[in-house]
Amino acid sequence: MAFPLPLDPDFRKEVIKSWIEDCNDRLDLGKVEDAKISWQIANSLYLNLPPGTGDLSIEDALMAIRVKLD
């Protein structure tokens, strides 16, 4: 069983950025299905951030990757 992430939004944003990097790395390697999984995790974590703690740069990165995946 996985441990829950700390509630600190800044920590969660760093984890999301790591998943975005992972997704880009997988796309560079041509592993599209694995990149989709990484994107889904990053997106899910982003959507679960507390209200008012969003980040436009993360949103832009998620959207850019989504376009690449489609």
pLDDT of residue 47: 94
Number of domains the chain is built from: 1
2 is a domain residue = no
What is the per-residue DSSP string for 44-59?
HHHHTSPTT---HHHH
The structure's pTM equals 0.88
- Give the gyration radius of the chain's Cα atoms: 12
- The tens-digit pLDDT sequence of the chain (70 residues) is 456 767 789 999 999 999 999 999 999 999 999 999 999 999 999 999 999 999 999 999 999 999 999 8
Has residue 1 been placed in a domain? no
* Cα 5 to Cα 15: distance, rounded to the nearest angstrom: 9
Residue 3 lies in a domain: no
Which residue segment(s) compose the domain that 47 sits in? Answer: 9-69
Cα(14)–Cα(18) distance, integer angstroms: 6
